[in-house]
Every structure is written in C-alpha cells, then in structure tokens.
Structure 1
Amino acid sequence: MNQTIHFKTSMFDVSKERENPINPIYGLSLLEWLRNELKGNLEITEPDAEDWGWYCELSYEGNNYLIGSCAYFEEGDDPNHELEWVFQVDKQRSFKEKLFGKNKMSASDGCFLFFKELFEENPNFKEVQVA
C-alpha cells in the first residue's frame, strides 16, 4: 500500500515538461527537482512515465521504494499559478514479506517521513497534507 502527500506549489512550469507517452499527465518536473535537490545524499533513478503520472525508484535505509508524482493541470490552465500535486511513496517488499505481513508501508515509514518533512520545510510547498 502506498502513502500519499498532497500539496500546492507554483514552483514548476509543467507546460515545459516532456510529454508523458502513455497518458497526458504532468509531474515530471517535481521528480527532476528532487533528483537534483538530493544529489549526493540520495540516489534516485531517472524518471519514467506511467499511466498515472511519473515515477522513480530509490533505496532508503535498506529498503527499495517507488516514488511517483502527478500534477493537476489541464490545457488552458495557467502553469504559473499554484497547482495541486500528489506525491506517493510505495515500499517494494519481497514475496515472503508480503506473505508474512512484514515490513509494511505506513505513514511512519522513514522514507515517507523524509519526503513529507522535505515538503513541509520548503516554503514553496503549501498546504502539505498526508492522505
């Protein structure tokens, strides 16, 4: 089960993102910003497209995660206004962990809390909420 963080920001101009070849959903710019912001501290893979938005993979405290993002933006919207964003963190677990209910993802997961605090502490991110 993934955990999500919702927020608003005008920090990114999603109209300049490369097109998602699967579905016309935006969100790439947040992941690219995270890769640059955390370079040297956290190794995050190159973003890739998915039908629900964009994702990257990373390792955090010995666990593997998929992080994803999407922005609510439609043609005709002003890309310079605050947009609503959804950021998700999903912990990858082995078959054995799933079978025995071990190492589950939760709102108290270290990786999830790391990103939540990162968004909360940055003044460019508004109305940061866990959903």
Structure 2
Amino acid sequence: MHIAISFKTSMFDVSKENKNPVNPIYGESLIKWLKQELDSEFEITEPDAEDWGWYSYITWNNRQYMIGASTYFEEGDDPSSELEWVFQIDKTRSLKEKLLGREKISTADDCVLFFKSKFEAQLDINSVAFE
C-alpha cells in the first residue's frame, strides 16, 4: 500500500527532464527538486525511471521509504503551464512486519505529513490533497 498526494504547480519544467526509458511519463524534476531541497537533512537516492513515473528512496527516522512522482505532459503542451502531479510514498516493511500487519503506512505517518506540509508551504504549489 502507498499514500498518494496530488497537487497542481507550474514550478517544474518537464520538457527539460531526462527521457523515461520505460514509459513516456514525467516526474523526474519533482524528485530532483526534493533531493536538492532535502539532501542536507536526509539521504535520498538519485531518481530512477519506472513505468508509472520516477522514484527515489529516502531514509527517514532509520526507515526506508520510496517516494515517486508523475505528471501527464504531451509533446506540444506548454511546459510552463500548471500541471497536476501525483506524489507517492511507500514505506518499506520487513516480511515479519507484513505478516503481523505492523508498521503500515497511513496519512498520519510522520514522513507522509512532512511531505504534505512541504508541498503546502510552497507558494507555487496549490490544491494539495490526499488521493
């Protein structure tokens, strides 16, 4: 299970992103921005492509989370226009935690609340909501 946060912004120029070799979905610019913003506080891996967008791993309070981003943009669209983004957070759990139903991610998870408040604090990001 993962948590998804949606928002709208024109902060990121997706036309300058590396091409996603798996599927033509954008999201790398958001992950890179978060890495740049948070690298001094948290260990975040370099972004990588997946069929649904782009992702990295972050170490948060000695736990690993996968963070992912995607947005829809087609060739010919205005790269400076406001796009709708989906940001996903998935908590890595051990097999034992999964079997016992422990450490499940929720909208009350500190890591989830941190990212939601990070987006809400940005003047150029609006309509922040849980999916």
AA in 1 matched with 2:91: K
AA in 2 matched with 1:129: A
Supply the distance in 2 between the matched residues of 1:26 and 1:105 (Cα, whole angstroms): 25
Supply the distance in 1 between the matched residues of 2:86 and 2:23 (Cα, whole angstroms): 16
AA in 1 matched with 2:57: E
Supply the distance in 2 between the matched residues of 1:43 and 1:64 (Cα, whole angstroms): 10
2:125 pairs with 1:125: yes
Query: Counterpart of 1:72?
Result: 72
How far residue 63 of structure 1 moved from its aligned partner, in angstroms, is 1.4
Matched residue pairs, number? 131
AA in 2 matched with 1:100: L
* Percent of paired sites with the same residue: 59
Query: Counterpart of 1:39?
Result: 39
AA in 1 matched with 2:2: N
Query: Counterpart of 1:116?
Result: 116
RMSD: 0.6
Query: Counterpart of 2:3?
Result: 3
Secondary structure, aligned partner of 1:34: helix
Gaps of 5+ in 2: none
2:81 pairs with 1:81: yes
How far residue 72 of structure 1 moved from its aligned partner, in angstroms, is 1.5
1:38-94 Cα offsets, whole Å, 9 max, x none, are 121111100000000000001101211000000121122111010000000000100
Supply the distance in 2 between the matched residues of 1:76 and 1:112 (Cα, whole angstroms): 34
2:22 pairs with 1:60: no
TM-score of the two chains, using structure 1 as the length reference: 0.98
Gaps of 5+ in 1: none
Extract structure 1 runs of 4+ deviating beyond 2 A.
none
Supply the distance in 2 between the matched residues of 1:33 and 1:62 (Cα, whole angstroms): 22
What is the correspondence of 1:89-108 to structure 2 with a 5 Å cutoff? 89-108=89-108
TM-score of the two chains, using structure 2 as the length reference: 0.98
AA in 1 matched with 2:39: K
